[in-house]
Structure 1
Amino acid sequence: MGRAAIIAGSGTLPRLVAAALEAPVYVTLDGASAPEGATHVSARIEKLGRLFKDLRAQGVTEVTFAGAMVRPKINPVLLDRHALRLAMSLGKGDDALLREVLALFAEQGFTVRGAAELCPDLTLPSGTHWGHAPSPEETADTDRAQAVLDALSPLDVGQGAVCAGGQMLGIETVQGTDALLRFVAQTPERLRRAKGVFVKAPKRGQDLRVDMPTIGPETVAAAIAAGLGGIVIPGGAVIVIERDRVRHQIEEAGMFLSAQ
């Protein structure tokens, strides 16, 4: 059986996954360091062919993507043929770009596995509930926010939305969850009918192997600062970083978190 490689983005998730694997290969695209015990491969997005060779040399057969990924700045002069193909997809939506990444690794003989597949405890099972029971109004806000996300899924827009008293206060776009919650926090009280609910969920048909939504203590802190009453996620489809700390935050703030 071959080794697993972690294509590491930002945040704590890559190191959590590395800690759960035996002798992983830790790949960074920004020159960051690797955790102790992991073989480190520093790569450039323009030189994917070299990365594929380095992974094979380390006996890698499986690859997982972990952590926040941003669209890379590419030096066109350095592009090899693999990276050129990827660069041609940069003008597409996130889902289309990720499908191209998956295809490239698969064609090179690597199996792509999701971080939650390697570490099942990263997600919450359906039926998990922390904090107070949501009110009928909060349940209605949850349903409306989810309906908006469902409607936007074909447009490849975002993974989060906030509804309060039947009003949409914000929809996640390319700026991400933190920006969305900061925007909601700035909403004047006169425009708010209720505390509101933040729904975080993958887009319909989204490949969770490379783009599973994630929340953690910083997300909860931002939701608290935005004055929200609860957070709702689908069971098994959103990574929860530092779940014990998240539960403590939720209960201490008088909020709720539900995995449905």
Structure 2
Amino acid sequence: MTRIALIAGEGLLPPAIAAALDDPLIYALDHLHPQVQAKPFRLERLVPFLDELTDQGVTQVVFAGAIRRPRIDPELFDSRTMAIVPRILMGMQSGDDAALRAVLDVFEEADLSVVSVDQILPELVPGEGILAGQPGPRDMKDAERAAQIVQGLGALDIGQGAVVAQGLCLAVEALPGTQAMLEFAAAHAGLKPDPNGPKGLLYKAPKPDQDRRIDLPTIGPDTVRQVAAAGLGGIVWQAGSVILLQREAAIEMAKTAGIFLWARS
């Protein structure tokens, strides 16, 4: 019998994926605190961990949730994992996307197929459409500008989001994450030239040529709450490429806050 393993990160996505799978084996890096019961493993012993998956009959693996980089303890490496360390470290030095690709390569070399979240729960990734509110013409221009910015950031493996208001970029996403970006944008809202003009928007999209099997951008009710607190007018994302958690709750919260939600083609 073949089984699927869930490599759980933090946030609400791992429980949703776990509930959709039939008796999955669930693991997490030992420095993380996923919202699902998981057996811990360490990156320094990655090859023995892959052996364990194979011994358990695992043939497929799905990664879900936010993953913070672990602190590496050189003394904990086993000899076989030590042999692949240069590849992983080179990826980590090149950026998050390169690091994740290096890890995916190692899993596939162990004959473990990596499955994407949207293969398991396609309804988590909305197609094109406006889910709440109604962006105006100037919001649409801001969305276009933000999409250009995020594409440029993604090509440099920097981030997956930007805040744009009235044609001006107030913040971009970097290592501190989305909430830090939104707090920065809120602190600099006074830079908008027209106080009565469009409030601005958060835009999210994956990086160009990103491997869709891992690290797709994710939004949900917490994002709506943070966008409202930042005084922005809406959230826009690349249709078919961003995970929307707790869809109905996010939509209702957006309607209550007067925020538009737009999956943009």
TM-score (norm 1): 0.93
The one-letter code of the counterpart of 1:244 is E
Partner residue, 1:217: 221
Q: Which deviates the most, 220-229 or 74-83?
A: 74-83
Residues 1:69 and 1:192: Cα distance change in structure 2 (over 3 Å): farther
TM-score (norm 2): 0.91
Contact 1:17 1:119 (C-alpha < 8 Å) held by counterparts = yes
User: Unmatched 5+ residue regions in structure 1?
Assistant: none
* Aligned mates of 1:258, 1:89 — CA distance in 2: 34
Residues 1:35 and 1:198: Cα distance change in structure 2 (over 3 Å): closer
Partner residue, 2:165: 164
**Aligned pair partner of 2:246 in 242, 248, 253:** 242
Q: Deviations over 1:80-134 (max 9, x none)?
A: 333524234321111111110110000000000111211111111112x123221
Partner residue, 1:14: 14
SS in 2 for 1:15: helix
Partner residue, 1:75: 73
**Aligned pair partner of 2:88 in 72, 86, 89:** 86
* Aligned mates of 1:125, 1:107 — CA distance in 2: 33
SS in 2 for 1:227: coil
Partner residue, 1:121: 123
Residues 1:88 and 1:135: Cα distance change in structure 2 (over 3 Å): closer
* Aligned mates of 1:100, 1:57 — CA distance in 2: 23
User: Unmatched 5+ residue regions in structure 2?
Assistant: none
SS in 1 for 2:93: coil
* Aligned mates of 1:158, 1:35 — CA distance in 2: 27
* Aligned mates of 1:107, 1:173 — CA distance in 2: 31
How many residue pairs were aligned? 256
Q: Per-residue deviation at 1:211?
A: 1.1
Contact 2:10 2:35 (C-alpha < 8 Å) held by counterparts = no
Q: Per-residue deviation at 1:67?
A: 0.3
Contact 1:41 1:54 (C-alpha < 8 Å) held by counterparts = no
- Report % sequence identity: 43
Partner residue, 1:108: 110
Matches within 5 A, 1:1-260: 2-30=2-30, 32=33, 35=36, 40-80=38-78, 81-82=80-81, 84=85, 85-127=87-129, 129-189=130-190, 191=192, 193=194, 194-260=198-264
Contact 2:12 2:35 (C-alpha < 8 Å) held by counterparts = no
SS in 2 for 1:211: coil
* Aligned mates of 1:34, 1:201 — CA distance in 2: 25
SS in 2 for 1:64: strand
Contact 1:162 1:198 (C-alpha < 8 Å) held by counterparts = yes
SS in 2 for 1:104: helix
Q: CA RMSD in A?
A: 1.7
* Aligned mates of 1:120, 1:247 — CA distance in 2: 18
Contact 1:123 1:236 (C-alpha < 8 Å) held by counterparts = yes
SS in 2 for 1:4: strand
